[in-house]
Amino acid sequence: MPKKKRRRTAPTSTFMTTAGWRWRSFPVFLAFVCGAFVMGLLNGVTNPVGAVFFYLALFGVAFGAAHMVTRSLAERRMRRRAPGVPPPSPEAGQAAERRRLLEGTPRRR
């Protein structure tokens, strides 16, 4: 009688296998830069090394804030558009403007 083949079982999930965190992503970068900015504020700008550290952190915070603002504006713009409708072409805008001009002109009898 042939021996039964053992099936491999999936490894049990541990913290290392279930944590799908991407460490090189924007939220991690922003958290690091905000922490560096607070450390730069606490350290002071009196010594030259602290000044360079502070201004680099300030640049990173400004970049992160700009990234968040532009992303939220782009998402709002995409939500505002109707799904499945392509953006209007310039010719369509000119045709709509011609119709409005024609509707606004006085009619002669």
Q: Which residue ranges make up each domain of the chain? A: 25-82
Give the C-alpha separation, 31 to 23, whole Å.
11
The two tokens of residue 41 are 């504020």
Q: What are 25-38's pLDDT values in tens digits?
A: 888 899 999 999 99
**pLDDT at position 65:** 93
Q: What are 19-78's pLDDT values in tens digits?
A: 566 777 888 899 999 999 998 888 777 778 888 888 999 999 999 999 999 998 888 888
Average pLDDT score over the chain: 76
Q: Please, are residues 61 and 37 in contact by the beta-carbon 8 Å criterion? A: yes
Instruction: List all residues 6 or more positions away from 54 whose beta carbon is below 8 Å from its beta carbon.
Output: 37, 40, 41, 43, 45
**pLDDT at position 23:** 74
Is the pTM above the cut of 0.85? no
Other beta carbons less than 10 A from residue 92's beta carbon: 10
